[in-house]
Structure 1
Amino acid sequence: MGGNGKHRWIISFSRASSLSLRSKKGPREPPKEFICPISGSMMSDPVIVSSGQTYERVSVQVCKDLGFCPPLETGPPLDFTAVIPNLALKSAISSWCESTGAVHPPPPDYMSVEKLVRRKIPYDGEASSGTIRVSERELLKCVAENYPPVIRTQAVSELAQRVGDRFCSGSSSEESVIVAETPLSLKKRPCCYSSSSSSSEFFDFETLNPTQTLSPNAEPNPEEEELVLKLRSRDVFEQEKAVSSLRNISKTRPASRAALCTSRLLSALKPLLVSRYISVQVDATASVVNLSLEASNKTKIVRAGTVPYLIDLLKGGFSESQGHAAGALFSLALEDENKMAIGALGALQPLLHALRSESQQTQQDSALALYHLTLMNINRVKLVMLNAIPTLLEMVRSGNLASRVLLILCNLAACAEGRTMMLDSHGIEILIELLREGEGKGLKSTIENCISALFTLSQGNFRFRSLLKEANGVEVLKDVKKQGSQRAKDKAKRMLEMMSEREDRLRGRSLEWDLFLESEELRQSQ
């Protein structure tokens, strides 16, 4: 105590001794609430899911990607729709690690968590409940085995004009649906599929007889055998006859699509998708569109490795083939099992670029393909990372495919990354401006989709209120509440109520603060 430093040295030595003793004993076992029920390890980034439980963020993402919902003994079923960071628990874990000398847990490895989750998925040939999605890695591996490298040697030219009877001009009427609802009458057929021939083309996929698909032990289909031989011929004229015949059969005889869509035929058809001859390339791509209209064929076509060829066509195929490629990707994206694979194989960027195609057909099918792909969160995040939102907002502002692009924006606003980028890119200002124009022109679908996008942006976002006020959007919402459709009215009403509740809450806090200051002044004066 006298300044010679001896006593301070003793204290320092005793602290070091206590630390060394604690390190020998090792850290205590973490509390149960710090452990993720899925991964079984201490959480690094705990999040609260919609149903109220807390899990590691990576564990939630793995379960969502695999389409698996862990069973609970009691309580409501799990809901992974949205996640909120559990900051209180994260802080508690950090404090516990510091106090016990334990190492703060690093973020878990995605692959290791995926292995754990897969062990928990019930499997007895078929999923016991729900649909089990395969991971991107497995889908890529499966597709890679069926997709040899393509060497392009041709100079790609543009067709000046399409043959009118092969295509429909696209729907001129605007859709009147909102996010999370399948839009348009084109929900099962891309624009490039002609509806000008026989009435048999309007085929009801839900009433298909599943026995139409050939089993491995079934006798060979003579028609399919003949087509495969011609498709594999080195004679270009034989190839032209084969793809023309396949296109015609798959278009006019819907019942034959399932029987023709075999691995042998798809294997023979794939190289012709990138043929140097226009007629071969166009008819081959149109055949893929027609075959994909059969619900049971969609997964077969993707697993056969056809998607990379379609992506190549979008990037550098003939103009007519690009339209068919966009239509095929849209048709394939209707199947939930295909969404992850198509996004993982790199279709998002070419589809985004195809939105600016000179062909209206290509634009429409590309927009609908992106809409259906972004129903899956992993594709939303990928599209946001491609900096797609400023491009899409600019298209909305210019009026190019505004109603359909708004559907894509609604999906992107459902993820945290998308909401942030939309707010940073003046999304609210653009949407409010479009609402004003839509009211003046009476565009019902544009108004509904704008309101849907704004409503999605408003969920759990503190910046929304101030940005909406800056854009003078409150008055616009009031007008929509009075004159819009029932859907638009409901959403506008809920947003206005939310704005009012927040203002009341802020006024209450301001009043509490004023009362506190007055009481302090009174206490000091006394």
Structure 2
Amino acid sequence: MQVESLISKIRNPSLDIVQFLKCSHLHLPDELSSASLEHCLQKIKHVGYEQTSSVIREAIRDQVDSVGPSSEILAKIAENLSLGSNQEILIEAVALEKLKENAEQAEKTAEAEFVDQIIGLVTRMHERLVLIKHSQTCSPVPIPADFCCPLSLELMTDPVIVASGQTYERAFIKKWIGLGLIVCPKTRQTLAHTNLIPNYTVKALIANWCESNNVKLPDPMKSREAEFSPRFMDPRSRSQRIWRRQSERFIPRIISSPGIENKADLSGTETQVKKLVEDLKSTSVDTQREATAQLRLLAKHNMDNRIIIANCGAISMLVNLLRSPDAKTQENAVTALLNLSINDNNKTAIANANAIEPLIHVLETGTPEAKENSAATLFSLSVIEDNKVKIGRSGAIGPLVNLLGNGTPRGKKDASTALFNLSIFHENKARIVQAGAVRHLVELMDPAAGMVDKAVAVLANLATIPEGRTSIGQEQGIPVLVEVVELGSARGKENAAAALLQLCTNSNRFCSLVLQEGAVPPLVALSQSGTPRAREKV
């Protein structure tokens, strides 16, 4: 983002130099072959950082509005940044994690939040690439996810375990470490050592699965790294798509491997965490309060710390302290769990520690900050599909709706984000409507609340069930939806149009009300200039 002006100044001279080398008859080194120079030339031509910044900001806005960016947007960003392979995307994620950690330690909150949003985009790119890879598989039956290497996304033939406990295809993790990346690609944990231990259990399971399903194991040496499919790209020739950096010349943006000092730091952190976990068991309120405060802080700034804290058994202890009669201890415990839940493995561990009901208890009894962080933790856990079901059936929706209506501005945003995620699971929609959410959502569509896009995104989901449509009509939601179609953001217009479409196609009465509110002119305008999804809804 910060180098756009410099890039624009050096782009044309760079093109001239490479073009000169390409056309010259000088004797050039082997690494400057005609094909290599053509690769450089096309890459420079497609450097469009100003456009890329605009696309990234648009994608971040979509993400903040709880509606993910489209596949086309993700593909555009990946193309402009030359993030075409799974390895390149994961390297970018590791680099961003380091930038975020540095910003947090320097207390540059705005910068850390922005980097975190970009990490979210890169994560979506990775998820999209996994889906593409699965859609392209030649296997007649779906391959279990645990049998695929997180780097190659292929069925593993020589699985090995790294220091973080994760399993990879030997050839691919060796290549990763060979680039100087002493970080687990999946967990982002710094590797205490680079030894690769054969995973005979997984290898045997894969062999049995292949035999049972008549699947032939791939040759790992011929396995290509997963790339973005051309189907999702611009309709240009293959030679114009500069997706891959040549790996032998690729220099990662990460610092080199951590030395003995870093390993000692991790050992020191583990010792500190073990002591804090013991303090959590103390009968002294002051000791518990101080221990939860320290764990909260440790979990805030560092991915390695989050893994160490979980491995030392802190999660179950922190869950128990969600019912602490000491308000500050409870607040520290829920915030520590929120920070720990940033790690995907910890999301599962927290849910398995039966944290959902204690989190609901915090929603009902905690300080304003504790309630906000409880809602945010429930949102974080609900990213996992099974947790959407558990949270909905555990009685969390009522307290979340109460926070939506009566919480602090931050609490309302956290509640709306959690409710949006929960409303993706069909069974939860009726619960959200029955808890009275629609009235609060309609109130929050006042621009002064600063939550129009979040509120309308939830309403668009609720409008897909009869109870939701009835409640939107009863709570005077139609006029504000029409207003959003006319004056809202691009994403707000899209979701408002989707909600109005549901109302009109399922009820003549609602259709008449929509027309009475003067919806036709803004809908016509939206059909001509809105986003592709918005035009589709119109």
Q: TM-score when scaled to structure 2?
A: 0.50
Letter of the structure 2 residue corresponding to residue 307 of structure 1: I
Structure 1 residues 212 and 349, CA gap change in structure 2 (3 angstroms): farther
* 3-state SS of paired residue (2:444): helix
Number of aligned residues:
307
Judging changes above 3 Å, is the alpha-carbon distance between structure 1 residues 178 and 310 closer, same or farther for their aligned structure 2 residues? closer
RMSD: 3.9
Q: CA deviation at 1:389?
A: 1.9
Matches within 5 A, 1:357-506: 357=406, 359-397=408-446, 399-400=448-449, 401-436=451-486, 438=487, 443-492=489-538
**Deviations, residues 91-142 of structure 1 (Å, cap 9, x unaligned):** xxxxxxxxxxxxxxxxxxxxxxxxxxxxxxxxxxxxxxxxxxxxxxxxxxxx
Within the candidate set 279, 283, 301, 2:332 is matched to 283
- CA drift of 1:223 comes to 5.1
- Is the Cα contact below 8 Å between 2:189 and 2:304 reproduced in 1? no
Aligned pairs for 1:80-99 (under 5 A) are none
- The amino acid that maps onto 2:309 is L
Separation in 2 of the partners of 1:289 and 1:488? 34
Instruction: Give the Cα–Cα distance (whole angstroms) in 2 for the partners of residues 363 and 195 of structure 1.
Output: 27
Aligned-pair distance for 1:247?
1.5
What is the Cα deviation at residue 388 of structure 1?
2.4
Q: 1:197 aligns with which of 97, 102, 105?
A: 105
Can you list the C-alpha shifts for 1:60-98, whole angstroms capped at 9, x where unaligned?
xxxxxxxxxxxxxxxxxxxxxxxxxxxxxxxxxxxxxxx
1:257 equivalent to 2:314? Answer: no
Distance 2:64 2:355 in 1: 31
Q: Is the 8 A contact 2:299 2:306 kept in 1?
A: yes
Asked if the contact 1:176/1:448 (under 8 Å) is kept, the reply is no
Whether 2:284 is the aligned partner of 1:235: answer yes
In structure 2, what is the Cα distance between the partners aligned to 1:309 and 1:212? 32
Aligned pair in 2 of structure 1 residues 312, 456: CA closer, same or farther (>3 Å)?
same
Larger-gyration structure (1/2): 1
Higher relative contact order (CA 8 A, sep 6+): 1
Q: C-alpha displacement at 1:362, in angstroms?
A: 1.4
Task: For residue 397 of structure 1, report the CA deviation from its aligned partner.
Answer: 4.7
Instruction: Report which of the two has the higher share of helix.
Output: 2
2:237 corresponds to which residue? none
Counterparts of 1:208 and 1:177, CA distance in 2? 22
Cα separation, 1, equivalents of 2:322 and 2:278 = 16
What CA distance in whole angstroms lies between the structure 2 residues aligned with 1:422 and 1:209? 42
Q: Does the 8 Å CA contact 1:239/1:280 hold for their aligned counterparts?
A: yes
Once the two structures are TM-superposed, the CA of residue 239 in structure 1 deviates from its matched residue by 1.5
Q: Are the counterparts in 2 of residues 480 and 489 from structure 1 also a CA contact under 8 Å?
A: yes
The equivalent residue for 2:79 is none
In 1, Cα distance between the equivalents of 2:103 and 2:512?
49
Distance 1:194 1:406, change over 3 A: farther
Which letter does structure 2 place at the counterpart of 1:450? Answer: A
1:408: Cα distance to partner? 0.7
Give the 3 Å change call, closer, same or farther, for CA 177–226 of structure 1 in structure 2: closer
Q: Is the 8 A contact 1:212 1:258 kept in 2?
A: no
Q: Deviations over 1:15-72 (max 9, x none)?
A: xxxxxxxxxxxxxxxxxxxxxxxxxxxxxxxxxxxxxxxxxxxxxxxxxxxxxxxxxx
Identity of aligned residues (%): 27
Distance 1:443 1:317, change over 3 A: same
What residue ranges of structure 1 are gaps of 5+ in the alignment? 1-170, 214-220, 493-526
* C-alpha separation in 2, matches of 1:263 and 1:302: 17
How far residue 240 of structure 1 moved from its aligned partner, in angstroms, is 2.7
CA distance in 2, matches of 1:421, 1:357: 19
Q: Work out whether residues 331 and 366 of structure 2, in 8 Å CA contact, stay in contact via their aligned partners in 1.
A: no
Cα offsets for 1:121-169 (capped at 9, x unmatched): xxxxxxxxxxxxxxxxxxxxxxxxxxxxxxxxxxxxxxxxxxxxxxxxx
Partner of 2:373: 324
Q: Structure 1: how far apart are the matches of 2:445 and 2:273?
A: 46
Deviation at 1:351, TM superposition (A): 1.0
How far does residue 376 in structure 1 lie from its aligned partner after superposition?
0.4
Change (3 A) 1:183 1:457: farther
Question: In 2, are the aligned partners of 1:352 and 1:366 still within 8 Å (CA)?
Answer: yes
Q: Residues of 2 paired with 1:430 and 1:291: CA distance?
A: 38
Q: Relative to 1, partners in 2 of residues 1:212 and 1:305: Cα closer, same or farther, differing over 3 Å?
A: farther
* CA distance in 2: counterparts of 1:302 and 1:279, whole angstroms: 23
Gap change, CA 1:432 and 1:422, over 3 Å in 2: same
Q: In 2, distance between residues paired with 1:319 and 1:390?
A: 22
Structure 2: state its 5+ residue gaps.
Answer: 1-56, 71-96, 127-184, 192-269
1:416-435 superposed Cα distances (whole Å, 9 cap, x missing partner): 32223323444333311343
Match for residue 68 of structure 2 among 163, 177, 182: 182
1:356 has 2:405 as partner: yes
| 1:313 matched residue in structure 2 | 362
Secondary structure of the corresponding residue to residue 478 of structure 1 = helix
Give the counterpart letter for 1:447 in structure 2: K
CA contact (8 A) 2:322 2:334 kept: yes
User: How big is the shift at 1:407?
Assistant: 0.8
Q: Do the aligned residues in 2 keep the contact of 1:374 with 1:380 (CA within 8 Å)?
A: yes
Structure 2 distance, partners of 1:195, 1:349, is 37
Q: Deviations over 1:261-317 (max 9, x none)?
A: 259422322232233434422221110001111111112212212122221222221
C-alpha contact (below 8 Å) 1:274/1:309 kept by paired residues:
yes
Which letter does structure 2 place at the counterpart of 1:415?
Answer: I
* Contact residue 371 and residue 411 of structure 2 kept, 8 A: yes
Q: Does the C-alpha gap of structure 1 residues 465 and 353 become closer, same or farther in structure 2, counting only changes over 3 Å?
A: same
Q: For residues 382 and 263 of structure 1, what CA distance do their matches in structure 2 show?
A: 37
Matches within 5 A, 1:205-220: 207-209=185-187
